[in-house]
Amino acid sequence: MTSRRLRLIHGMSSNRPCRYSLFVLLCVSPLCGAAQKHIQPSLSSHSHSLEAVRETTLRLPSLSYLNPSDVVSNLNEFTPSLSQVQAGYRHDGASLAVDAQQGTGAELMFFRAQSHLRISKKSVAWGEAVYENGSRQGISWNLNSDYQRVFPYVIADTATVSMRREYYLFRGGYAHQMNRLSIGAEMSYRSTIEYRDRDPRPKNTTLDVQLHFGGGYAVSARRVVGLYAGIGKYTQQSDVQFMNPQGNRVLYHLTGLGMQYFRFKGLQNGVKYEGGNYSAGLSTHTKDGLGLQASTDLEYENIQKRLSSERDIPICDVFQTKWRGELSWTGQWRQWDCKATFSAETTKREGQERYYDSGLTNYKEIASSRPFIYQHQGMQLSLSALYKLTPAIWLVMLPRLAYDVDNTQYQTPARQLKTAFLVPSLKLDLSRMFSRGLLSVGFLSHVGRQVHHHFVFTEPQVFDKPVGMFRNNAFMQQASYWDAGLHIRYDFRLVRSLTSAFMQMQLGRRWYDNHQHGHNLEISMGVTL
């Protein structure tokens, strides 16, 4: 289910976009200036500086470590210092939502700044700042933000809505090597504001803070073994108002697969989500990035839903455990750089419902159960290969084969949606260096082939209002599909400057075998320092 959804970059809105954009720019400008300061003298020519751009944007992402939690691996991941500032527009849409509770699409303007600084031979720092402003569209039976984080326990209304959205992300880290020991840490701060100025009028404010830290030890002249851990805090405050004098509408507290919490049906319009997550992992890699690499990590998260309009009583809890593992081998042969990777992951998410007595003012918990279960298993085999046809022409090929199983269940009444997909894909990136420019063209294709599905939806009379929405979800999530994407980017040197500018465009299209379709478009420009 979640592995197959079209990835929608949600937008945001505010009556103060200029002020916040300026704030983000001021936050990241020191990083960009430092990056320009630390560019090596060997990169002073046109071609050499663009080689650094190509190395970062084309070659290394396909051959780098795929586990983002291993902060120590950043010591070897990027050789040159490089920063990028980018602004653009993105639009996503679909004829019918894959998951109606996440909407049919989004439209947004964005600003992004990224920096990776090689401070010394033994130290590296990195940072990122993102601001987005736009809207999420076509959302049904969900008035909350961060659906993937809090599902299935959302506030719902019968109306299909669009919500304005504002999004902020700040991330930074540092790693340092001391003889055979290396240490690193990374911290991220993410905030979202979503609202609507027509009934129903939700206002959601979210905050997500994550801290990752790790250490690596050189057990030999070539190999490093690393340990890393993470901790995080998540909150969301949600309030729904109705301003129409004709009367209030009913709000529903959904519990998964078309079920609701009947006890609190009505005008319980204040909700608070609070929770935390913990993670730990083990990895091993070589200092030069060649040979055998391996990593595994385990993450646990608990988020509780409380009724802030009813003395903050907890009514539902989400417990999620996720395991990931990866084994890869990287080698070089003549003009070829190759990496073979096998990865697997499994996720189990359980939803707990709390039951209270019939008291009108005092609530006493009398029982609890876990009727909602979501499970995901995925395996993936990939091969990334870089071939240097000439010093000016590089080709990256990334064939991939994935197998994903998603199983969502509600125990009583018995309801289930289970799908299994085999997904072969191919990504090609071709770059051509010119005297004053760098042209990169990429093509991506996915084929999602359904190999199994099972849909049970008993007793719809219990709560029949969202039945149509869930049947449409099943209709889309069981459909085979084909993706095609095109990426074009052109970097060019600026006169009498160590910087270069770029323009890029991304196009994507998805066709389903049930005659539905989806699309996305992104246009942006920026500078590299």
pLDDT mean over 226-234? 94
Q: What is the pLDDT of residues 373-410, one digit of tens each?
A: 999 999 999 999 999 999 999 999 999 999 999 999 99
Indicate if the pLDDT at residue 233 is higher than 90. yes
**pLDDT the model gives residue 145:** 96
Q: What is the pTM of this model?
A: 0.87
Provide, rounded to the nearest whole percent, the portion of the chain with pLDDT above 90.
63
DSSP 8-state code for residue 515: S
CB-CB contact of 253 with 153 (8 Å): yes
Indicate if the pLDDT at residue 281 is higher than 70. yes
CB-CB contact of 350 with 333 (8 Å): no
d(CA 346, CA 518): 27
> Lowest-pLDDT range, 124-133, 245-254, 331-340, 446-455?
245-254
DSSP 8-state code for residue 462: G
Half-sphere exposure (Cβ direction) of 205: Cα atoms closer than 13 Å? 3
200 CB contacts (<8 Å, ≥6 apart)? 143, 157, 159, 161, 240, 241, 242, 249, 251
CB-CB contact of 11 with 134 (8 Å): yes
Helix, strand, coil share of the chain (percent; to 5) = 15, 60, 25
**pLDDT the model gives residue 334:** 82
d(CA 82, CA 50): 11
Phi, psi of 287, rounded to the nearest 5 degrees:
-65, -35
Phi, psi of 100, rounded to the nearest 5 degrees:
-60, -30
* pLDDT band at residue 44 under the 50/70/90 scheme: very low
d(CA 132, CA 91): 12
DSSP 8-state code for residue 485: E
**pLDDT the model gives residue 31:** 39
Q: Report whether the peptide linkage leading into residue 152 is cis, meaning its omega lies within 30 degrees of zero.
A: yes
Nearest CA to 209 out of 228, 233, 191 is that of: 233
CB-CB contact of 350 with 370 (8 Å): yes
* pLDDT band at residue 62 under the 50/70/90 scheme: low
Virtual torsion, Cα 63, 65, 68, 73, nearest 10 deg: -120
d(CA 457, CA 472): 12
Cα–Cα distances in Å, from 425 out to 29, 369, 395, 453, 485?
A: 38, 41, 17, 21, 11
**pLDDT the model gives residue 208:** 98
Q: What is the pLDDT of residues 456-515, one digit of tens each?
A: 988 887 788 888 898 999 999 999 999 999 999 999 988 766 688 999 999 999 999 999
Phi, psi of 225, rounded to the nearest 5 degrees:
-115, 130
CB atoms within 10 A of CB 4: 20
Please give the structure tokens belonging to residue 47: 């071609």
Using only C-alpha atoms, the chain has a radius of gyration, in whole angstroms, of 24
Q: What is the pLDDT of residues 260-280, one digit of tens each?
A: 998 888 878 899 999 999 999
**pLDDT the model gives residue 17:** 40
> Lowest-pLDDT range, 53-62, 193-202, 254-263?
53-62
Nearest CA to 236 out of 358, 144, 363, 152 is that of: 144
Residue type at 292 in one-letter notation = L
Domain parsing of the chain, residue ranges: 2-528
**pLDDT the model gives residue 58:** 73
CB-CB contact of 233 with 209 (8 Å): yes
pLDDT mean over 279-287? 90
Element holding 31 (H helix, E strand): helix 17-38
Indicate if the pLDDT at residue 7 is higher than 70. no
Q: Where are any strands of DSSP class E within 287-392?
A: 291-307, 313-333, 336-356, 365-388
**pLDDT the model gives residue 360:** 65
Indicate if the pLDDT at residue 15 is higher than 50. no
CB-CB contact of 257 with 152 (8 Å): yes
**What value does the mean pLDDT of the chain take?**
86
d(CA 111, CA 131): 5
Nearest CA to 190 out of 306, 99, 277 is that of: 277
Indicate if the pLDDT at residue 20 is higher than 50. no
Indicate if the pLDDT at residue 67 is higher than 80. no
User: Across-strand partners of 406?
Assistant: 376, 419
> Lowest-pLDDT range, 54-63, 327-336, 443-452?
54-63
d(CA 420, CA 240): 37
Indicate if the pLDDT at residue 347 is higher than 90. yes
Most confident of 11-20, 78-87, 308-317, 417-426: 417-426
> Lowest-pLDDT range, 99-103, 123-127, 192-196, 324-328?
123-127
**pLDDT the model gives residue 75:** 64
* pLDDT band at residue 48 under the 50/70/90 scheme: low
**pLDDT the model gives residue 496:** 62
pLDDT mean over 172-185? 90
Indicate if the pLDDT at residue 23 is higher than 50. no
d(CA 387, CA 324): 30
- Dihedral sign computed on CA atoms, order 65, 67, 68, 72: negative
Indicate if the pLDDT at residue 24 is higher than 60. no
Residue in the block written with tokens 């700042």: 129
